[in-house]
Amino acid sequence: MIDSVRDRMSVKDQLDLTGRVALITGGSRGLGLAMTEALAEMGAKVAITARKREELEEACTHLRSLHIEALSVVSDLSQPETIAPMVAAVIEALGPIDILINNAGTSWGAPAETYPLEAWRKVVDLNLTGAFLVTQEVAQRSMIPRKYGRIVNIASVAGLKGALPEDLSAVAYHASKGGLVNLTRALAGEWGRYGIVVNAICPGFIPSKMSRGVLSVIADRVIAATPLHQLGMERDLQGLAVLLSSEAARHITGQCIAVDGGVSAV
């Protein structure tokens, strides 16, 4: 019979993140900020990065009101030259990075037949290329040498299927999130030998700054088509983000978990 300290860990201890260092991209608001709160609540030391300094300052003020101290580093992940200095700053301040949440993202709506190349590049450069470059940097500097890591990519149900034009015309968003889904699987395959688990969360529609305009038009249709007959909330990602960032995920990798009220199941 296999018997070890790890096998006898309590569930509470498996989910405990005390002492772990977590980097959350796009952590200044919305889903990123909610996941930052969750990881910090479970004991992680947290660093957030985003493009706008003022939003990071607002996020840190909010986190302090919850008795959470967060490091903030300005970085535009669509600009590759900003990534290595950002990761270096986090490591210097907090230590090697154990957990990476790739949450930064953007979208652009337009019919596919007239979709501007500029818009395509903006979305793909941030949502897919930026996520890859951050992951590569963190893996090289922290996770591969220490043979430990938890990577959580925030994809989307839009990366699992298409959409009717009356619901969503955002071909680059679909493509970038689909790419992030398969990037998750590819990295899980390559980096399992280093003790790194790589998973993705695929949210459905959750009210946010990015989705507010679309939901103002289609919210009723989305709710009607959702088995649970509700929209998601930011807190719906918190528990799953903790799980996939913890010791409880030691045997879960390459998975893309939809948090969409059942939309992708029917």
pLDDT tens-place string over residues 28-83 = 999 999 999 999 999 999 999 999 999 999 999 999 999 999 999 999 999 999 99
Residue 1: the pLDDT is 43
Quote the DSSP letter at residue 235. G
Q: Which of 266, 240, 234, 231 is nearest to 160 (CA)?
A: 266
DSSP code of residue 230: S
Number of structural domains (the chain) is 1
Question: What span, in angstroms and rounded, lies between the C-alpha atoms of 179 and 169?
Answer: 17
Greatest C-alpha distance within the chain: 62
Q: What is the pLDDT of residue 166?
A: 80
* Separation in Å, CA 45 to CA 17, 85, 111: 9, 19, 42
pLDDT of amino acid 109: 92
In-domain check, residue 266: no
Nearest to 246 by CA among 48, 3, 9, 71: 9
Q: What DSSP letter does each residue of 181-200 carry, written as one string? A: HHHHHHHHHHHGGGTEEEEE
Assess if residue 1 is contained within a domain: no
SS3 category, 172: helix
In the annotation, is 173 catalytic?
yes
Nearest residue to 243 via CA among 68, 11, 47: 11
Q: What pTM, to 2 d.p., does this model score? A: 0.94
Domain hosting 93: range is 6-260
Confirm whether 164 is domain-assigned.
yes
* Predicted pLDDT of residue 103: 98
195 and 250 in contact (C-beta within 8 Å)?
A: no
pLDDT of residue 4: 55
Q: How far apart are CA 15 and CA 247, in angstroms?
A: 6
Tell me how far apart the alpha carbons of residues 214 and 50 are, in angstroms, rounded to a whole number: 23
Q: What is the CATH number of the domain that holds 60?
A: 3.40.50.720
Let me know the angle formed at the C-alpha of 179 by 133 and 129, rounded to the nearest 5 degrees. Answer: 25
* CA–CA–CA angle 90, 151, 235 (5° rounding): 90
- Predicted confidence at residue 121, as pLDDT, reads 97
Q: Which residues of the chain have pLDDT under 70?
A: 1-6
Identify the pLDDT of residue 3.
52
Pairing relationship of beta strands 99-102 and 256-259 according to DSSP bridges: unpaired
Residue 194 domain flag: yes
Whether residue 39 is contained in a domain is answered as: yes
Residues with Cβ within 8 Å of residue 183, at least 6 apart in sequence: 128, 131, 132, 153
Evaluate whether residue 265 is within a structural domain: no
Gap between the Cα atoms of 145 and 136, Å rounded = 13
**Residue 162: what residue type?**
G
Residue 152 lies in a domain: yes
What's the pLDDT score for residue 214?
80
In a domain, 124, yes or no: yes
Q: Name the catalytic one among 115, 148, 173, 194.
A: 173
pLDDT at 211: 74
